[in-house]
Amino acid sequence: MANVVFDNVWKIYPDGTEAVKELDLEIEDGEFVILVGPSGCGKSTALRMVAGLEDISRGELRIGEKVVNDLTPKERDIAMVFQSYALYPHMSVRDNMGFALKLAKIDKDEINRRVEEAAEILDLTEFLDRKPKALSGGQRQRVAMGRAIVRNPQAFLMDEPLSNLDAKLRVQMRSEIAQLQQNLGVTTIYVTHDQVEAMTMGDRVAVLKKGVLQQAEAPQRLYDKPDNLFVAGFIGSPSMNLMEADLESNPGGNPILRVGEQTLEVPEEAMAEYPRVRDKVGGKVAAGIRPEHSFIPDASTPEGGTLRGDVRLVEALGSEVLVHVATQASPVVTEDMREAVDDEEAFARMEESGATGGMDMTFRFDPSFTPKVGDTLEVGVQRHRMHFFDLDDGQALR
Amino acid sequence: MIGRRWYTPWLFLLPSLVLLGVFYWWPVLNTGILSMTDAHTLRGGEFVGLENFRRMVDDAFFWNALENSLLFTVGVVPALVVLPLLLAVLVNTKLPGIAFFRTVFFSPVIASMVVVALIWSWMLRTDGLVNYVLQRLQIINEPLGWLSDPSLALISVIVVTVWKGLGYYMVIYLAGLQNIPDDLYEAASVDGAGPIRRFWTVTVPMMRPSMVLVGTLSAINAIKVFTEVFVLTGGGPFRSSETLVLYIYERGFEGLEMGYASAMSLSLFVLVLLFSLASQWITRRRAAL
Ligand SMILES: Nc1ncnc2c1ncn2[C@@H]1O[C@H](COP(=O)(O)OP(=O)(O)OP(=O)(O)O)[C@@H](O)[C@H]1O
Ligand SMILES: [Mg+2]
């Protein structure tokens, strides 16, 4: 086992595509790091550079303090789980799992022992003599995992290993993989674009945008303290409500956000968290509210603490209800958001609603709350948990 | 459905059924009938029952031709299964200018067999290019009679046939290679397999269906071989390279013994049928595994 260090690593494909740019990331020995980001941001490329399947254009990659830039995959001693599983179709499960060991000239009994042990862990014992074709998707996925764990390698690399499974199996495998990794303690890099996988599986999440690392932090911290607009918009599902708003001065108080006819006063806690907000008074900022940071206002809710709008859509999910409210706020339609939304159509709708004024915000409530479509709703905002970003460079106004 | 009559599908099938009937099934049927007569080209035949088949058993030239055909097949098929695969793997790389080599290797396929065979027959003459080069390289001391030495003639024909077929089967393999997912190779690399190991653990098993196909096609073509032998050696010297079709041709069109030639054709047909059945059986057994 070993640490994996990206030291100013670049990947420039022969056609000039800069898939990964000056990546600096240290993955500690035994750590489970998730790489997330929109499609095409360079996650797979970064992973494949560790595996030795792509050349490194610039910079240095170290596994266990050893520079591996020029080593073949074989010499790097890493194991990889592919999205397609890439099982050898003509080999039995046993041979698939033992293949790497056989190539490493480990003796037969030892191979058998390790394969059977792994099969035991993964519940594959009864399938050891089957061909991959005769297995279900979930079983194939486990064989792919087994092929990696019998190796006892320096690191595991996994590229969207669960994306071909149905939702239920995905939930199950998610926790199994996380647990397995914890028990084995093998350094793991895991690529996904699934929000839940990113938030729940790893010790740390590294967010990439267009080949550039945005932030690498423990999941909860990433969620609570996004460094920039892109991370704020990308992490979380449903995503953070991000609006573009004028920041007005308020003699004798904290600045005030203008949202159409309504205002939101920036509370003291938020000012402490985002001190640079003060520099933006008189200009515009991007302000963010997570869907769950809302409440049903009552008599004690102060003026300047709510947003009003018509209910557009109510999604009752059983454990919670998501209410989409048409507010007078303007959406943030910068390049960061285009990337974070990662859906051209949805982004076009945002741009459109921005032009006509007004955006839909999503709020999360207890399922006992059941507003009707068309109702005018006053939503309380937990303003102390709001986020503020510079509209020009997207950075948090910390 | 509106206005659908029972004969509508048959109308669509009619043109090809007519063509197949006139140019395929009728001749086949006729061959069957002729094989039981002593028909000559210039006179109709009497029914002779299985006499022609009995004659085959006693005909040393028939057995010689059959043996040559089988030798030819045994020589050609393994080479045409293996060599084009290696070639396909080589030209399937992403090296710059590789398209040029693909074209070069394919070009013999579009050339006419007669032309190819003629050119080779010049090159293989005692005073031809092949002997000249081999002598220059001091691989041989005396010029060899590639086409005139009874012990070499069949081998020479085999070499030319393989050379001509390489490109064709290479293209079949190339199509198969495109269907092998890259990540199988990548998984093998990560598992610690070098290029040769990857060839054996990924390429060969994944190409098995293509190899069975190439084996079948080349075997059927080999057992039916005519042009190559006809132009290069004419079956000689001393019938040392005379294959079955050549002998059938000789009996039927030179000896004018249509009845006997038909009987031999029928036995050739059975042989080809056996090859196809065998290959189908192999494919099915593979699929069942
Ligand atoms: N062989 C290649 N040649 C040129 N460009 C490439 C090549 N492979 C990938 N790219 C480009 O590099 C960028 C990153 O690709 P990569 O596959 O790493 O994305 P990803 O983050 O894994 O996306 P996804 O979530 O869709 O799998 C993309 O813009 C892609 O088009
Ligand atoms: Mg990818």
Instruction: Tell whether the model's pLDDT for residue B46 goes beyond 60.
Output: yes
CA A352 – ligand 1 centroid, Å: 30
Instruction: Tell whether the model's pLDDT for residue A168 goes beyond 70.
Output: yes
- Structural tokens at position A284: 């515009």
Q: Do A88 and B197 touch (CB under 8 A)?
A: no
Pairing of the two strands A204-209 and A32-36: parallel
CA A30 – ligand 2 centroid, Å: 23
Tens-place pLDDT, residues B88-133: 998 888 788 888 888 888 888 888 888 888 888 888 888 888 888 8
Q: How far apart are CA B181 and CA B120, in angstroms?
A: 40
Mean pLDDT of chain B: 87
Q: How far apart are CA A198 and CA A162, in angstroms?
A: 12
**Is B257 in contact with B101 (CB distance < 8 Å)?**
no
Chain B CB contacts of A80 below 8 Å: 186-187, 190
A340/chain B closest Cα distance in angstroms: 29
Q: How far apart are CA A104 and CA A288, in angstroms?
A: 53
Pairing of the two strands A18-27 and A4-12: antiparallel
**Is A360 in contact with A353 (CB distance < 8 Å)?**
yes
Half-sphere exposure of B77 (CA within 13 A, CB side): 23
Element (H, E) at B11: helix B8-20
**Is A59 in contact with A6 (CB distance < 8 Å)?**
yes
Longest dimension (CA), chain A: 80
Chain B CB contacts of A83 below 8 Å: 183
Q: Do B186 and A51 touch (CB under 8 A)?
A: yes
Q: Do A73 and B192 touch (CB under 8 A)?
A: yes
Alpha carbon A267 to chain centroid distance? 29
Q: How far apart are CA B158 and CA B75, in angstroms?
A: 6
Residue closest to B185 by CA, chosen among B172, B195, B171, B175: B195
Residue carrying structure tokens 């196809």:
B276
Pairing of the two strands A330-331 and A241-248: antiparallel
Q: Do B190 and A78 touch (CB under 8 A)?
A: yes
Angle at A102 between CA A98 and CA A104, to 5 degrees: 120
Query: A62 forms bridges with which residues in the sheet?
Result: A5, A67
Q: What is the crossing angle of helices B98-110 and B60-91, to 10°?
A: 160
Element (H, E) at B244: helix B244-249
Q: How far apart are CA A367 and CA A382, in angstroms?
A: 19
- Ordered by where they begin, the domains of chain B are 60-288 (1.10.3720.10)
Q: How far apart are CA B245 and CA B223, in angstroms?
A: 8
Q: What b/e readout covers A168-193, taking b as 16+ CB neighbours within 10 angstroms?
A: eebeebbebbbebbeebebbbbbbbb
Answer positive or negative: Cα dihedral of A318, A320, A322, A327: positive
Contact residues, B window 169-188, toward A, CB-based 8 Å cutoff? 181, 183-184, 186-188
- Structural tokens at position B275: 């090859």
User: What are the strands, taking DSSP E only, across A28-89?
Assistant: 32-36, 58-63, 66-67, 78-81
Under the banding of pLDDT at 50, 70 and 90, the label for residue B1 is: low
CB-closest option in A73, A83, A88 to B190: A73
Disruptive mutation site among B95, B190, B285 for chain A (greatest number of A CBs within 10 Å): B190
Tens-place pLDDT, residues A84-131: 999 999 999 999 999 999 999 999 999 999 999 999 989 999 999 999
Task: Report helix, strand or coil for B70.
Answer: helix
CA A146 – ligand 2 centroid, Å: 22
Tens-place pLDDT, residues A45-87: 999 999 999 999 999 999 998 999 999 999 999 999 999 999 9
Instruction: Tell whether the model's pLDDT for residue B42 goes beyond 80.
Output: no
At residue B288, the pLDDT reads 60
Mean pLDDT of chain A: 92
CB pairs under 8 A between A and B: 59
At residue A215, the pLDDT reads 96
Task: Report helix, strand or coil for A289.
Answer: strand
CB proximity A88 to B under 8 Å: yes
Q: How far apart are CA B201 and CA B215, in angstroms?
A: 20
Q: How far apart are CA A129 and CA A94, in angstroms?
A: 6
- Structural tokens at position B10: 């048959």
**Is A230 in contact with A340 (CB distance < 8 Å)?**
yes
Residue closest to B289 by CA, chosen among B209, B197, B216: B209
More confident residue, A103 or A299: A103
Mean pLDDT to the nearest integer, A255-278: 92
Residues, beta carbon < 5 Å, ion ligand 2? A 44
At residue B58, the pLDDT reads 85
CB-closest option in B181, B190, B194 to A51: B190
Instruction: Tell whether the model's pLDDT for residue A44 goes beyond 90.
Output: yes
Element (H, E) at A361: strand A359-365
A106 CB neighbour count, 10 Å cutoff: 16
Contact residues, A window 146-175, toward B, CB-based 8 Å cutoff? 147
**Is A149 in contact with A121 (CB distance < 8 Å)?**
yes
At residue A31, the pLDDT reads 95
